[in-house]
């Protein structure tokens, strides 16, 4: 059973950059390179929203309008890891960032994804 682990969150100043990572847990032999993966985020009192998606081969990506041009999703299948490189961060980017997999087709709708990590907190504040 595939399990996901996010890492790399933290506190960053407005305008700064941060990279968060998503890996398969060490307790599983499943590999992420068979799956499309999505990054989502949830701020307090707000619904979870899609941020960026990447196909299983990494040849196709999708971005929410709010992050396009600032965020880059990528994957290193040899390392079984997906990255979200975030630049020009602003306070509205704060929230818990989750990675997910197991959707029939890549979509920004969170309810279509079956397997979720525990999340990593990103706080953008001066």
Torsion sign, CA atoms 78, 55, 89, 47: negative
Pairing of strands 4-7, 120-124: unpaired
Average pLDDT taken over every residue of the chain: 94
Q: In the structure, what pLDDT confidence band is assigned to residue 24 with cuts at 50, 70 and 90?
A: confident
Q: What is the pLDDT of residues 75-125, one digit of tens each?
A: 998 888 999 999 999 999 999 999 999 999 999 999 999 999 999 999 999
Distance CA 124, CA 10 (A): 8
Q: Are 29 and 121 in contact (CB under 8 A)?
A: no
Half-sphere exposure of residue 106, counting CA atoms within 13 Å on the CB side? Answer: 22
Residue 52 exposed, middle or buried by CB count within 10 Å (0-12, 13-18, 19+): buried
Distance CA 15, CA 34 (A): 35
């Amino acid at each position: 059973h595939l399990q996901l682990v996010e890492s790399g969150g933290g506190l960053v100043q407005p305008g700064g950059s941060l990279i968060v990572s998503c890996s398969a847990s060490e307790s599983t032999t499943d590999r992420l390179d068979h799956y499309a993966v999505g990054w989502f985020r949830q701020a307090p009192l707000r619904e979870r929203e899609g941020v960026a998606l990447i196909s299983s081969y990494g040849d196709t990506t999708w971005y929410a309008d709010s992050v396009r041009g600032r965020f880059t999703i990528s994957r290193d299948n040899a390392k079984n890891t997906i990255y979200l490189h975030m630049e020009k961060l602003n306070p509205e980017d704060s929230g818990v960032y989750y990675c997910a997999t197991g959707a029939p087709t890549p979509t920004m709708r969170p309810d279509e994804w079956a397997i979720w990590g525990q999340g990593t907190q990103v706080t953008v504040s001066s």
